[in-house]
Amino acid sequence: MIISTKGIVLRKIKYSDSSLIVDVFTDLECRKSFFLKGILGKTKTKLKNSHFQPLSQIFIKYNKREKKKFNFLIDCKVHNHCQNLYLDYRKSSIILFLNEILNMCILEEACNKELFFFLENSLKWLDNNDKISNFHMMFILNLLKYLGINPHLKSSNSKFLSFKNGSFEKVKPDGLYAEGGSVKVIIRLLGMKFDNCFMLKLSQVQKHEILKILLQYIEYHVQGFKQPKSLHILHQVFE
C-alpha cells in the first residue's frame, strides 16, 4: 500500500558507510522506520541526507510493508522550510534537546494527529520568533498533555507536584514528589502561551531546577526515558 503523509524526523542512524536508518513521526501512522540504502554514497540518489535533520518537517511517500520493521521510502520533500531553526545557535540547541525527548517519548504506532499538529505549530512558532528563553519549558509542559501524563492542577495554591498521582497538591504526598518555588513557577507556566511566556523572568538556577523536575517527571511516567545528552549544551547556550 502506498502512503503519502507529512512527517517529522525523530532519529537518524548511520548504517554502514553509505546508508541510514530514519525514524519519522507521521501524521497518518505515527512512528515509522525507513532504511535508506546508499543515501550517503557517491552515487546520487533521489533522496537527500539534508532532508533528515533533527525535527525536519517533511512530506513523504512510502510503500507500507505489513509486519516488516522497515518501510520503503519512495519520495521525500521538505514540507515546512524552517531554516532559522538550524542557523540560529539558540534555536538549534533547543531543537537537539527536544528531539532527544521526543525520540524517547513517541513510541506508539497508533495515529496521534493532535500531537502531530502541536509539534508542527510549535516548530513553526520557534522558527518565526526570537523571544524564546522559556520556550523549551513551555513545550515540555504542553507535550505532557498529548502524551496523556500531564499533572492535574487541583489548586493554584498547591505546593507539591506528586509524580505518583500526576497532580499538584497542597499537602505533602506519598511517593516521589517535587516542592518549592520551582513548582510554583511551573504552575504559572501552565496558564501561559508561547507568545507571552518570555515575560516570566527566571534566573538560570530556576530554569535548571524546573527542567530537572520536568525531566524527572517524564522519566517516572515514560519507560526507558533517560536524561537527554544535549541538556548541558542547552544550559551553556542560555547561560
- Of the pLDDT bands very low, low, confident and very high (cuts 50, 70, 90), residue 67 is confident
Q: Same domain, yes or no, for 119 and 225? A: yes
CATH of the domain at 6: 2.40.50.140
- Of the pLDDT bands very low, low, confident and very high (cuts 50, 70, 90), residue 212 is very high
CA pair distance 61, 77, nearest whole angstrom: 9
CA pair distance 76, 9, nearest whole angstrom: 11
pTM, whole model, 2 decimals? Answer: 0.94
- Residue ranges of alpha helices (H) inside the chain are 84-87, 89-105, 113-128, 135-147, 181-190, 204-221, 231-237
Q: In what order do the strands lie in the sheet with 167-169?
A: 152-153, 167-169, 160-162, 177-179
| Lookup: cell for 235 | 544550559
pLDDT of 66 reads 77
Averaged pLDDT, 133-149:
95
> Is pLDDT at 69 greater than 90 in this prediction?
no
Q: Same domain, yes or no, for 75 and 182? A: no
Structural domain containing residue 63: 2-80
pLDDT of 184 reads 95
27-32 own/partner pairs: CB under 8 Å, 24+ apart: 27/111, 27/113, 27/116, 28/3, 28/111, 29/3, 29/5, 29/64, 29/109, 29/111, 30/106, 30/108, 30/109, 30/110, 30/111, 30/112, 31/106, 31/107, 31/108, 31/109, 32/7, 32/62, 32/71
Averaged pLDDT, 81-85:
86
CATH of the domain at 168: 1.20.1440.120
Averaged pLDDT, 66-89:
89
Averaged pLDDT, 5-21:
94
- Of the pLDDT bands very low, low, confident and very high (cuts 50, 70, 90), residue 81 is confident
Looking at the 3D structure of the chain, how many domains does it have? Answer: 2
pLDDT single digits (tens) 146-180: 999 999 998 888 999 999 999 999 999 999 999 99
152 or 110: which leads in pLDDT: 152
- Domain edge (last residue) among 80, 111, 135: 80
Q: Same domain, yes or no, for 112 and 60? A: no
pLDDT of 15 reads 93
Q: Same domain, yes or no, for 65 and 115? A: no
User: Which of the residue ranges 70-79, 106-115, 128-137, 196-205 would you say has the lowest mean pLDDT?
Assistant: 106-115
pLDDT of 134 reads 93
